[in-house]
Structure formats: C-alpha cells, structure tokens
Structure 1
Amino acid sequence: MRTSDVEILIVPGWSGSGPDHWQSRWERSLKTARRVEQEDWLKPQSEQWSARIASAVAASEKPVVLVAHSLGVISVAHAAPRLDLTKVAGAYLVAPADIENAKDWPVTEGHSFEQDVRDFGTMPREPLPFPSTLIASHTDPYCCFERAKEIAAMWGSKLLEAGDAGHVNVASGHGPWPEGLLQFGLFLKDLQEPAAGTK
C-alpha cells in the first residue's frame, strides 16, 4: 500500500507531540495524515483516549494505518478490541511507554507520571488483531529494550531495533526522523487491504 491508499491516524502520547516532533512533521507532510485529538493531553484517561481512537477509525473513509508514539501506543492496544477491523490495515508503534513501571519514568517538564497512568491499568496482553511493527530503543527511559521485546511478543508485533535512540522524540534528537519514515514506507508496502466482514 502507499500513503495515498490509506488514512494515517497520528496517535501521540502525553503532551500531544509538539510542532517539532516527528509525528507532527509527518502530519504536516503526509497528505492523508490526521491527528487523533484528545481532550486533555496532560491528564490522560485510558477510556477517553481509546474512545477517541475508535471514533477516528470509524470516521475514516480509507483503510487506516495507526502511527502511535509512547502512551499513544498503549492507547492503541487498549482501543484494539473496539476498533472496526474492516478499516484497520495496520499499526506502526514507536517507543511504547511501559505503564507497569511508570514509577521508574524520569520527571519530564517538571511532571511525574505514576499517578497519571494508573487509570491505564496493566499492559494489554492480547495479540493485536491487525499487522503491527513496534520500534524500540535500547536507551528509552520510559521502557527498557527487554521489556519492549516482551510487549512485541505479546502483541504479535514485528520488532525493529532503533539503537541508541532514547524515547524517539525531540529530546533525543528525533524531530526529523528520516530512518523512521523510511521504515514506515517499508511497513506500508507490506500491508494488505483490511479483510471485509471482520469486526
């Protein structure tokens, strides 16, 4: 599939991915991309975030490819059982946030997260019902690489190693992320139309 064949739904994590973040850059540069907006980017609520993802998928007129980062990755996994699978072609999941170990996350912009993500419960463990690739860094302070490997295995996601890439965000030098865009193109190339009649 090509970018023109799909609707790319950008699913940011906490704080919504600022203007220099690779997700925001992709949203501006890829004509079929749009963002799943949340009511409050700084106070994440699992149910609300999942519902917004499901609504965005339902409103799409082309096959959907989800492009999620950090807590957005976990939201996609939580939302998966309620998504219209006749519309979802796949998910490109970058730097998952390990919600079960939020106590170990660094303070970010003066903010700590253990209380904020308690609402997200445990990490979803069911395989995702659509093709997915998970990009994981060896130096991500929000999810160690071994844990990312476990998550990919649980979800049935293809695991790609990003090397020494931090949280794959602006702070780790990933405003422009050409390697990620190249991998995304390869991911799209291998995708098929969603199977009609599945839900």
Structure 2
Amino acid sequence: MAATVLILPGLGNSGPEHWQSWLQGRHPSFRRVEQADWDAPVLADWVETLERAVAASSAPVVLIAHSLSCILVAHWAARGAETGSADKIAAALLVAPPDVESPALTPPEVHGFGPVPTDPLPFRTVVLASRTDPYCSVGRACGFAVGWGADFIEAGDLGHINTESGHGPWPDGERLVLDLLKDIEP
C-alpha cells in the first residue's frame, strides 16, 4: 500500500512559488493539510486539523513539514502517542523549524506554539536546518533534532528554505522525500 504524503505548511501557508507547492505540483497525490487560519495560528486548532488528516488515511503517513508545522508535528505527536494515531506515521521530514520560544527571532503569532516539546518522536524523523535561518539558530534546530530523536541535516546557507530564500523548486528536498518513501515501501 502506497503511503499518504501530507504537506504541512507553516505560518501564512506556502504560496504558489514555495518548494512545498512545487513538490505538490510534481506529485499530485501529495495532499496539503489546510488550516482554517494560516495567519493567526491556534495550536489546538492546528493539532486537531492534523489529527483529522492523519485519521482519514488508511495507509501509512509521511509528514512533510515546513517552519511552524515542524513544531506542530512535535505537539501533535505528544497527543498522538496518547491516542495511538502517531502509530500511523511512517516518517517525517521537518524543514526549518523556528524557535517559537524566542521573541527576538520569531513573530508573536507563533509564540503560542511554545514551549517546544522535546520528547522523542515515535516515528522516523529527519530535521533539516540552515546555518542562516533568521528564525532559528542551527544549534537550536540541532537541539530540537536531538530531543526528538531525529536525524539532523545541516544544509548550509539556505536561509529559511522558503520563497524569500530562493526555494521554489528544491530538487534536494524532493530527493529527501523520495528517499523517505523508498525506505518505508515494502
């Protein structure tokens, strides 16, 4: 059975030129999880929306998260471990997690996602971060990966790995997703 791939954009959604939108265009079976409010996120609402999306899948799920949704996955996994829904996750790629606990680095709209859970995630996880991300130091992102029990990729000087940093088409990201899918296919 093929995996269900869920694309999880961050604050503001991923616009048409963003690498997540490009990836979805190249792989139409990948589904974007649509949040009710992209600009004023409420953690409980985002967690519930992700819970519904995972529950709707009969196949193993791969999560492809960017920015704020990386932190969403950590919060959801803590809840999903209690409900059993986290067992449906085969793997997750978490790209450019922001430091939502830092008022100096992140906007106030995301601070309700703190504190960041640091328990190990109950599924294979890869965290990818940039040395030049304005929303999180690479050391802090690596700390998230360690707490989550994730593999960590320090990707160089890629900014926030979004449209503003030149990441519309992102073949390296696509390769990571396809490698995760290959690893979980029987």
**The two structures share one fold, judged by TM-score above 0.5:** yes
Q: Residues 102, 184 of structure 1: CA spacing in aligned structure 2 closer, same or farther, 3 A cutoff? A: farther
Letter in 2 for 1:146: G
8 A contact 2:101–2:115 mirrored in 1: yes
Q: What residue in structure 2 maps to residue 103 of structure 1?
A: 104
Q: Amino acid of the residue matched to residue 103 of structure 1?
A: A
| Contact 1:36 1:53 (8 Å CA) reproduced | yes
1:89 aligns with 2:90: yes
> How many angstroms does 1:185 deviate by?
1.6
Query: Displacement of 1:186 after TM fit?
Result: 1.8
Match of 1:132 in 2: 125
TM-score (structure 1 length as normaliser): 0.87
Aligned length: 182
Whether 2:151 is the aligned partner of 1:158: answer yes
* Aligned residue number for residue 145 of structure 1: 138
Shift, 1:58, TM fit? 0.1
Determine the C-alpha separation between the residues in 2 that align with 1:32 and 1:102: 37
Number of the residue aligned with 1:186: 179
Question: 1:96 touches 1:148 (CA, 8 Å); kept in 2?
Answer: yes
Question: How does the TM-score come out when normalised to structure 2?
Answer: 0.93
* Residue identity (%): 47
Looking at structure 1, the residues matched to 114 and 95 of structure 2 have their Cα atoms a distance apart, in angstroms, of: 20
- In structure 2, the gaps of 5 or more residues are none
- Structure 1 stretches of 4+ with a deviation exceeding 3 A read none
2:15 corresponds in structure 1 to: 18
Cα distance in 1, alignment partners of residues 116 and 79 from structure 2? 16
Contact 1:102 1:117 in 2 (8 A): no
Partner of 2:44: 47
Deviation at 1:192, TM superposition (A): 6.0
Amino acid at match of 2:156: G
Q: CA deviation at 1:31?
A: 3.0
